[in-house]
Amino acid sequence: MSAAHQIDDQTLTLLRNGEEYFPRLVAAINDAARSVYLETYIFAGDATGHLIAGALQRAAQRGAVVRLLLDGFGSSALPPAMLDDLRAAGVEVLWFRPEIARFKLRRYRLRRLHRKLAVVDGQIAFVGGINIEDDVPGGPIAAPRLDYAVEVRGDTAERIHQAVRRLWLLVQWTNFRRQREREQLKPAPADDPQQKIAFLLRDNLRHRRDIEQAYLEAIAGARREIVIANAYFLPGRVFRHALLQAARRGVRVILLLQGKVEYRLQHYAMLALYSELLGAGVEIHEYRASYLHAKVAVVDGCWATVGSSNIDPFSLWLGREANLVVRDAGFAGTLRASLSHEIALRASLVTHIAWRRRGLAARLLMRASYGIVRLLTGLIGYARGSDDV
């Protein structure tokens, strides 16, 4: 795939899976002259982790400022020896909410750094859902996870650079209480989602619903087709109602969802939504080749989004997320063609008739799982309060 699209003097390249993403990321880091910022939820100590770590170390040794921000839960298994090697080479490493008291349930512990961003020299940026880990999840699954990222060159890369630098300084201030640097922080950049290329954030202060609102506006304006591929699909009432309304007014609504059980509670809670969606005419395809990790959508072949945000309470209400929204038929067409290919070859259609034949035990399991998730969501709430990193 890796097709480049020129949009308003900017270049966007859609990348499918780590097979296309990691070589482009390493090449950009290898060419870095001034700075490299990398944010990720998972940084694993596997072959891919060592590949990216090596590129970061080389950049730091050349004299570039290299800053790595890791989520304290998602990257908690990163071997200490890798961290030592990174720091010894001059890479600055910070943790976003490091896990200290693992067995205490606190709402703030669920506010994770879930976005996956990289910026090189303030000119080349990467936005998407791909973690720094091997493409193939291991165990009995031999195929890579399905996921996407976008390489961005142009003005939007500079806005992404501002966002990652701002969060770095905020985490740095929180860790070390460096008041002078905190005073220099500018407000987080906020793009107009009506732009041809918009970089949207989700945080717990000024941009709590930016990504969700972009989805809802695109769905409300859909006339022909909505295609959504999402790893953890558990939308709230408003989002669900928007999809149902679109289907009822004649829009073809296609969902590509997780077919393999990865996290049981979330998976069976998601299945509890199938009857309502199928009854309204929504098409549901379950991805079977591997785990589905994508968080992407295409509307009417001219609006597309690629990013880190799932359509579930943890992404839409709690996590720090980042999505790129693109209004361009060429880019959207490339993403749609890739999703259509995956649906045709690696997914199974769920029919309403077959779904209604599910046994009582299966229905009870789904309802119980959905009830537990709803209860947890109610207890968590909307993560109100200051965005204190």
CATH number, position 102: 3.30.870.10
Task: Say yes or no: 239 and 162 in one domain.
Answer: no
**Who has greater pLDDT, 154 or 191?**
154
The pairing of strands 4-7 and 303-307 is unpaired
Based on the structure, what is the number of domains in the chain? Answer: 2
Q: Do both 179 and 231 map to the same domain?
A: no
Q: Residue 272: inside a domain, yes or no?
A: yes
pLDDT band at 108 (very low <50, low <70, confident <90, very high): low
Domain end call among 183, 213, 239: 183
The residue among 138, 153, 183 that closes a domain is: 183
pLDDT at site 188: 60
Let me know if 210 is a catalytic residue.
Answer: no
Quick one: pLDDT band at residue 37, thresholds 50, 70, 90?
A: very high
In this structure, the answer to whether residues 237 and 149 fall within a common structural domain is no
Active-site residue, selected from the candidate residues 267, 293, 312, 328: 293
Q: Residues 192-231: pLDDT tens digits?
A: 667 899 999 998 888 889 999 999 999 999 999 999 999 9
Do 128 and 217 fall into the same domain?
no
Q: Tell whether 173 and 201 lie within a shared domain.
A: no
Q: Is residue 120 part of a domain?
A: yes
| Of residues 231 and 187, more confidently modeled | 231
Is 5 known to be catalytic? no
Choice between 110 and 88, residue whose per-residue pLDDT is larger: 88
Residue ending a domain, choose from 183, 208, 237: 183
> Within a domain: residue 191?
no
116 is catalytic: yes
55-64, 99-108, 256-265: least confident range: 99-108
Structure tokens at 81: 């020896």
| 47 lies in some domain | yes
> Is 114 known to be catalytic?
yes
Please, what is the Cα angle at 341 between 129 and 323, to 5 degrees? 20
Structural domain including 178 reads: 4-183
User: Has residue 25 been placed in a domain?
Assistant: yes
Query: Does pLDDT of 386 surpass 70?
Result: no
pLDDT band at 100 (very low <50, low <70, confident <90, very high): low
Q: What is the pLDDT of residues 227-265, one digit of tens each?
A: 999 999 999 899 999 999 999 999 999 999 998 888 888
- Told to judge if 312 belongs to the known catalytic residues of this protein, a careful annotator would answer no
293 catalytic, yes or no? yes
How much is the pLDDT for 101? Answer: 52
Do 162 and 72 share a structural domain?
yes
Residues 60 and 113 in one domain: yes
Q: Is residue 188 part of a domain?
A: no
Of 5, 71, 116, 147, the active-site residue reads 116
Q: Say whether both 240 and 170 belong to one domain.
A: no
Instruction: Give the burial string for 46-69 (b: 16+ CB within 10 Å, else e).
Output: eebbebbbbbbbbbbeeebebbbb
The secondary structure of 15-72 as a DSSP string is EEHHHHHHHHHHHHHHT-SSEEEEEES-B-SSHHHHHHHHHHHHHHHTT-EEEEEEET
> How do beta strands 347-350 and 283-287 pair?
antiparallel
Q: In the structure encoding, which two tokens stand for residue 4, read together?
A: 């480049």
Q: Which of 71, 135, 295, 312 is catalytic?
A: 295
> Which residues, listed in sequence order, are joined to residue 283 by a DSSP beta bridge?
254
* List 134, 191, 300, 387, catalytic entry: 300
**CA distances to 43, 337, 351, 361, 370 from 357, in Å:** 42, 32, 10, 12, 19
Same domain, 178 and 275: no
Question: 226, 243 in Cβ contact below 8 A?
Answer: yes
Please list the residues that pair with 5 across neighbouring strands.
12
- Residue 127's H or E segment, with its range, is strand 124-128
Q: Cβ of 271: how many Cβ atoms within 10 Å?
A: 24
**For the chain, percent helix, then strand, then coil, each to nearest 5?**
40, 25, 35
Q: pTM of this prediction?
A: 0.92
pLDDT at 295 over 60: yes
